[in-house]
Amino acid sequence: MKSLDIAKSPDPGWTRPAWREALDRWWDRLLTSERFYRWSVSNPLTRWITQRRSRQVFDLMAGFVYSQILLACVRLGIFQRVQEQPQTLRSLAQHTDIGEAALQRLLDSAVALRLLTLRGDQRYGLGPLGAPVAAFPGIQAMIEHHATLYQDMQDPVALLRDALVSPQMNGYWPYVSNPDVARQPQAPQERFQRYSNLMSASQPFVVDEILSAYAFDDHQRVLDVGGGQGTFLSRLAHHAPHLQLHLFDLPPVVQLAEQNFARQGLSARTQTSGGSFLTDALPPGADLVTLIRVAHDHPDHHVLTVLKSIYRALPAGGTLLLAEPMAQEGGRQPQGDAYFHFYLLAMGSGRLRTPHELSTLMQQAGFCMIETVPTQIPLHAQILLGRKSKCLP
Ligand SMILES: C[S@@+](CC[C@H](N)C(=O)[O-])C[C@H]1O[C@@H](n2cnc3c(N)ncnc32)[C@H](O)[C@@H]1O
């Protein structure tokens, strides 16, 4: 049985005034009334609102079909092919070994979803939404990986009841089902490699957000906790050549990071330490610790353990930079929230937290002067900074 934390309401005493409650109920009745629907589509002033809502409901209903069309295009290498040059149905049928009639349905669906466009002479080219998929291997890797997630999501009620017959996502992340797995002599190296490759492929978007939002000039030494194969530190090494770099992760992952640093000629500037941040002390010496896409994988009490350990490892005046996707608060577009809530549910550990919840955990661990750093695309990651006070106790 999974043990999941419950998110606490930031304002448990919040109630709506009675008049607002009555208004909401009247509005619900109106929106669910067939007469009102007919009136609103026949009225030229309101029709666009009803049309837009109908499209939105249709998209919700059809979302799985859209995702599978995207997956088919990725698996068949269609984006790469049309990126080289626009292709006819016949040439794509030869390339994919799929009959023209069936493939035409896929390609026309992809055009409808703006993944492809028609380019004249009955050729298909990249569409505005297919272009980023073609350009970024990390998006393709995540689309492939979603095949695993969607197996668990085929029965969302069983997933919610923790009653899936053969859950897939939980096994994909070995440290989730067994935090001690990396210590076992038979640690499944290929499973650590598989998720580390995926993380490395999908990390560039997050790294871009961090490098464009935070100035590293005043730091000397950075420790990346849960740093995976070292993709962030490798980029940081080029971005800020004055920095010394240290990576901490589970021992099988650290091996991969060392190979990566050696391949890039970064061994002299980087140090690695293997261990578990739940049981081992973190190496001291860094004046900045980064924690990127780690907290959301873990329950609150584990996050608190890691944060306290980071606090102990930092010198007075040291900084923690925590970056990951966070739940939207304050009425902003909650884009991405539904995805991450269910991704982490299927994974079986952790949860998407608001910046407020993470700040509270950071405060409990001892950090002060906690601030949010604005990012360009919050869907990729939001950033929190916390400091270890220089004040004497
Ligand atoms: C979701 S991945 C993120 C990796 C990287 N920071 C990124 O953004 O791509 C979480 C990382 O935390 C590491 N991790 C999980 N549990 C750990 C533990 N108990 N001790 C040390 N590292 C751990 C995993 O091996 C993995 O590299």
Q: Cα–Cα distance between 319 and 324 in angstroms, integer?
A: 17
Looking at ligand 1, which residue's alpha carbon is closest to its atom 24? 226
SS3 content of the chain, % helix, strand, coil (to 5): 55, 10, 35
Q: Cα–Cα distance between 279 and 30 in angstroms, integer?
A: 56
Among the atoms of ligand 1, which is closest to the Cα of residue 296? 1
* Dihedral sign computed on CA atoms, order 324, 330, 335, 341: positive
Give the binding-site residues of ligand 1, using a 6 Å CB cut-off. 175, 179, 196, 199, 203, 206, 226-228, 249-250, 253, 276-278, 292-294, 297
Of the residues 250, 296, 308, 349, which should be mutated to test ligand 1's pocket, given the most ligand atoms within 8 Å of the CB? Answer: 250
Q: What confidence tens digit (pLDDT) does each residue in 35-48 have?
A: 999 999 999 999 99
Q: Cα–Cα distance between 98 and 90 in angstroms, integer?
A: 10
Looking at ligand 1, which residue's alpha carbon is closest to its atom 19? 276
> Along the 393 residues of the chain, how does pLDDT read in single tens digits?
567 888 887 677 778 899 999 999 999 999 999 999 999 999 999 999 999 999 999 999 999 999 999 999 999 999 999 999 999 999 999 999 999 999 999 999 999 999 999 998 889 999 999 999 999 999 999 999 999 999 999 999 999 999 999 999 988 999 987 878 777 777 788 999 999 999 999 999 999 999 999 999 999 999 999 999 999 999 999 999 999 999 999 999 999 999 999 999 999 999 999 999 999 999 999 999 999 999 999 999 999 999 999 999 999 999 999 999 999 876 566 778 999 999 999 999 999 999 999 999 999 999 999 999 999 999 999 999 999 998 766
Output the CA 3–ligand 1 centroid distance in Å.
20
Count Cβ atoms within 10 A of the Cβ of residue 357 and give its class: 0-12 exposed, 13-18 middle, 19 or more buried. Answer: buried
Among the atoms of ligand 1, which is closest to the Cα of residue 192? 25
List of E strands, 78-178: 87-88, 116-118, 123-126
Looking at ligand 1, which residue's alpha carbon is closest to its atom 13? 226
Q: Cα–Cα distance between 86 and 225 in angstroms, integer?
A: 44
